[in-house]
Amino acid sequence: MTYIPLSRCAALAAQARTFTRPHRIAQPAMGAVELAHRLLNLPVDERRQHVAALDDAELLAVMVALDVHAGSAYELWRDTPSGFAEDVLGLVLDNELRAVLDVVADPDARRIAARVPMPDNHTVAAVLLAWTALVSSPFGEGSRVAVSFAQYRATAASVWRILARFIDNAEIPGRLDMTRFAWWADPVEGPQHLMAFAVWNTTPDGMSGLHHYVAVVADADRIADPAMRATMTYLADGTYGPSRLVALGGTLDEPEEWFPLYESCDQVTTLATVR
């Protein structure tokens, strides 16, 4: 994955956070609060057009207001993971990848299976981890934890290397522990706040205490271990409120029996074509 320059939205979000940290407490102007409220209530495409038309000072004021009142400078993208990927992370997406990403914000799609060819499979997983950790849930109270789920540690490491690149390139907050695959909030936001973590070779019992999560399964079509499949099914059966399970398959030659696991659920399926 190549270096991605710092985007305008990412730079302003990073600046907005400095206004709301201890000793830099800001009181947002009423006009900025009202504008933020209007933007959040616009359809996604119209909102993104308005955001692009704002000058830096206006957009910064809106982000400060959202950071103060909603707890995140990234709230403008709370219902559009693809918009977050493009505007904040600076990625270039095609329509298929936009569909896979944005279905995760659909209130009626809680169990999602999508075939995304490599290398986009791991990139999509990393985008969803970052988006989940940085925005509030539009379908439930409180924040969610992002879970990176894979059969092999090597798969988790690949996804988290991309996540680390996003965090560095976009100046995203938090402390990333690549040894234990854990992403913690900034100390000023509470040292016990875990934003994301990775699991592999786990059992349903090991995930029994998880709630308010988005579990992103990378290389889901490679998972053959019965315990891992049982855990993935356990997560799918337990999704409610803001929780989601996103199973991403990434190969051309693997059997498709993992899709029937979600026959009764909402799905997005992309064609496995060579890019």
Report for 1-10, 20-29, 41-50, 195-204: range of highest mean pLDDT = 41-50
Strands 244-249, 213-217: pairing kind: parallel
Rounded Cα–Cα distance for residues 35 and 257 (Å): 48
109 pLDDT more than 90: no
- The pLDDT, as a whole number, for residue 119 is 80
248, 116 in Cβ contact below 8 A? yes
- The pLDDT, as a whole number, for residue 96 is 87
274 pLDDT more than 70: no
- The pLDDT, as a whole number, for residue 226 is 83
**Could you report the per-residue pLDDT of 119-154, keeping only the tens digit for each?**
888 999 999 999 999 987 655 556 678 899 988 889
82 pLDDT more than 80: yes
Rounded Cα–Cα distance for residues 269 and 94 (Å): 14
Rounded Cα–Cα distance for residues 216 and 226 (Å): 18
- The pLDDT, as a whole number, for residue 273 is 37
**Could you report the per-residue pLDDT of 15-68, keeping only the tens digit for each?**
988 876 665 566 778 888 999 999 999 999 999 999 999 999 999 999 999 988
pLDDT band, residue 272 (cuts 50/70/90): very low
pLDDT band, residue 84 (cuts 50/70/90): very high
Rounded Cα–Cα distance for residues 134 and 117 (Å): 26
215, 197 in Cβ contact below 8 A? no
Residue at 269: amino acid letter: T
Beta-bridged to residue 247, according to DSSP, are 113, 217
Beta-bridged to residue 215, according to DSSP, are 147, 245
